[in-house]
Amino acid sequence: TRIVQDDHTHYTWLLSYYRGLFVLDEEGHQVELPANLRQHNSSTMNCLYKDNMGRLWISGFNTGCQVISWNEEGISGIDMGAFQRQTGLVPAVMQLYKDADNVYWIYQDRRGLYLYNPQTETVSHYFDNPELRPFALYQIRCITPSHEPNMIWVAYYGNRIVCLQRQGMQFHLTKSF
């Protein structure tokens, strides 16, 4: 179960592995989900988090990713069509980060870390870089942005951490612990 309180309505958003997504108001009453979230709501949703801009990100197995933003465009989705065509995988987004260049760092369940640019429909996999092959980046626990541009910290199986940088659509290792 994951719980996030949004900064706009102060509603509590809960994601249950058994009941899917539901929202409670400040008095604890369940609120109806917006229509474009209801169509994706199921127990296959597995990722709910709030980014540093207050947006909520919701994704799951073959549901794609929905973004809720009260400051920008409302509820929108990430077009995962090119990702699915190029990888042959049904999207099973477990971790997600959108960098300043609108490139997504996606941890695809049991498949590893990908870079995805929906504007250019470009996809790259961490395994494309031979220096990253020794790292178990197919079992990621956490992705968090670095203060450096186009860089993220990745915690993965075995309590290991790497810092990766994106150059174009390629991954590069900068540090490992």
**127 DSSP assignment:** G
What's the rounded mean pLDDT across residues 57-63?
67
Above pLDDT 90, what percent of the chain?
Answer: 32
Question: The pTM is what?
Answer: 0.72
- pLDDT recorded at residue 112: 92
More confident residue, 77 or 90: 90
Q: Could you tell me which residues are beta bridge partners of residue 22?
A: 14
Tokens linked to 165: 């940088």
Average pLDDT over residues 18-39: 80
Which is nearest to 140 in space by CA: 164, 118, 168? 164
Residue 78 CB contacts under 8 Å (≥ 6 apart), including other chains: 64, 65, 66, 67, 104, 118
pLDDT in tens, 99-152: 989 898 988 877 899 999 989 999 999 999 999 999 999 988 888 889 998 999
pLDDT confidence of residue 43 = 53
